[in-house]
A = this chain, B = another copy of it.
Amino acid sequence: MKNVPFKGIIAYPITPFDANENVDINLYKTLLEKLIVNGAHGVAPLGSTGVMPYLTDSEKEAITEATIQQTNGRVPVLVGVSNLTTERTIYHAKFAEKAGATAAMIIPMSYWKLTDDEIVKHYDAVASKISIPIMAYNNPATGGVDMSPALLKRLLEIPNVTMIKESTGDVQRMHFLRKELGEDVAFYNGSNPLALAAFAAGAAGWCTAAPNLIPKLNVDLYNAIQNNDLKAAQDIFYKQVNLLKFIVNKGLPRAIKSGLEIQGQNGGHLRSPLQPLSESEVAELKQVLNGIQV
């Protein structure tokens, strides 16, 4: 078995800003701590939820260091280090490793659509410069490129590319990953509404922003699956599915911020051009949250 340090619920913290749209590190640590004490099996800063592409290099470094320090070894840390250029990706991957990250998550961001060869060369260049394992992340909606199962197979030939995260929203991709890549390859689900289907298909974990709002339901779903209790898992999933759909449809950073505020917590500010949910969207989210019987 390759080096696979994650399983279960891998929680995405948001990156909160202050009123001047500067990163609010203290609030970040508070929100991160809540994820850990509420049972997340891992944390993943600088993902889409953490608006990584909207941050400067030094802001990314500050978030990385704050995460390692606050987590303090209680759960493994998966740091997003993706960048449009190979040179910057290497830079952030090395920074994450040095800071103490457990693993690095890399999506092939692409303004110009990358060929398969370009993508392999990109991962190879980064992987050769670090020793920690890499999770290759496929999300055409945000990354701009859809990595085929065949390409993912090529990436897994790179020694420290050991994990795959799938966010296409197509459960058949997971069937392929399990069937073609073998039971030894760990694949993770990044599509919230597919949480039940992905676990049913054998996903090792679920990377999700939902634990910011409903950590118990997320962890309970994983436990039901571990207990081979499909009926319970189905029940628990249907309690949360409307929220999962809502936060995906509205954009995770915006939806999580509003949800935290509805729950009486501080969600911080967003960085422009991202704007808070509208009043009617907030009302809808209240209704969804109230509709959850835990």
Contacts and interface: CB of A to CB of B under 8 A. Distances in A.
Contacts of A245: 172
Interface in A142-195: 142, 144, 169, 171-172, 175, 178-179, 193-194
A230 interface: yes
Q: Is the interface of A mostly helix, strand, loop or mixed?
A: helix
Given A53-B84, A114-B273, A273-B121, A200 B202 contact: no
Contacts of A85: 54, 271-273
A205 to B, nearest CB: 16
Given A200-B196, A230-B225, A115 B172 contact: no
B238 A275 contact: no
Contact of A201 (B84, B178, B196, B274): B196
Contacts of A53: 84, 111
B193 A242 contact: no
A181 to B, nearest CB: 12
A271 B142 CA distance: 22
A95 to B, nearest CB: 17
Contact of A118 (B229, B252, B275): B275
B118 A273 contact: yes
Contacts of A242: 179
18 contacts: A54-B84, A54-B111, A85-B273, A87-B271, A87-B272, A117-B275, A118-B273, A118-B274, A169-B172, A171-B197, A172-B245, A175-B241, A179-B241, A197-B201, A200-B233, A201-B234, A228-B230, A229-B230
